[in-house]
Amino acid sequence: MKQVVITGASSGIGLATAKASLKAGYKVIATARKTEDLARLQQLGAEAVMLELSDEQSVNAAANTILHLTEGRIDALFNNAGYGLQVAMEDSTWQSLVEQHVTNVVGPIQLTNQLLPAMPKGSKLVFNSSILGMITIAFRGPYCMSKHALEAAADAYRLELENLGIAVHVIQPGPIEAQFRARTLATLKQTLGVKSPRLNYQNHLKRLNNPGTTPGTLPASAVAEVFIGIVEGKLRNSRTLVTRTAKTAAFFKRLLGHGFHKVARKAEPVNE
């Protein structure tokens, strides 16, 4: 039985991946932050572990628990947990930037480092990034920075772990059905506080408040299918784009190079 660890499994991509992994017959160790989410994961048949990536002690405790539950053998680690600070760069604060990068980059790296000794030859280290780990658009700067950094970390792991036989993969979703937008809006409001921003947030706020979905949005199961394909060895690419929107944006980024700035200035190609 394959043993997989999935972080951020309370909803969206993480929950869909946990369900798909259980269906595939894997032993699933899934993390979440809230008691009710942990209880739901247990009801599904997963081993649920509390993890707050912004807290070093929580990361250490979760790692120890995971190593115990897996008896020191992990076939795949899916670093999925994270959130989006989608605010203009000039409105970002010291604390908000620190929290974004600790949760999206530092926490996953430290968890990975503690679990790597339990990952044998043939295991898979998977990072859930975003098309925003490849492109940058307005009012997403801090989030884009964190995903660019996470992808750089994945590349470093790939180079360093190749001789050990551990494959490193990055998934780059575009618009996916999830609760991502609600937390993004809450984080934006908390960061701005009572401040009246100099830049015009009208279109950005309209998008975040819109209960509908962007054309081309796929269910979270689309990412779960990619993860299963990686674990089963059917998908071997180091990076996998998910959704037509992500593939189109990546194509024009490669085609236009620095000229992509003109496209990014006029469009909001993703609905993270």
Q: How far is CA 235 from CA 16, 34, 85, 90, 154, in A?
A: 18, 32, 30, 40, 17
Are the C-beta atoms of 172 and 240 separated by less than 8 Å? yes
Domain positions in the chain are 3-266
Architecture per CATH, domain 3-266, reads as 3-Layer(aba) Sandwich (3.40)
- Looking at residue 256, its amino acid is L
Are the C-beta atoms of 118 and 73 separated by less than 8 Å? yes
Catalytic annotation on 83? no
Give the pairing type, strands 124-128 and 76-79: parallel
List per-residue pLDDT tens for the chain, 272 residues long: 999 999 999 999 999 999 999 999 999 999 999 999 999 999 999 999 999 999 999 999 999 999 999 999 999 999 999 999 999 999 999 999 999 999 999 999 999 999 999 999 999 999 999 999 999 999 999 999 999 999 999 999 999 999 999 999 999 999 998 777 777 888 888 888 867 788 888 888 887 877 556 778 899 999 999 999 999 999 999 999 999 999 999 999 999 998 888 778 765 544 44
Q: Which of 26, 83, 143, 157 is catalytic?
A: 143
Identify the CA nearest to 58 among candidates 128, 118, 7, 10. 7
Model pTM above 0.85? yes
Dihedral angle over CA of 85, 187, 111, 174, nearest 10: -50
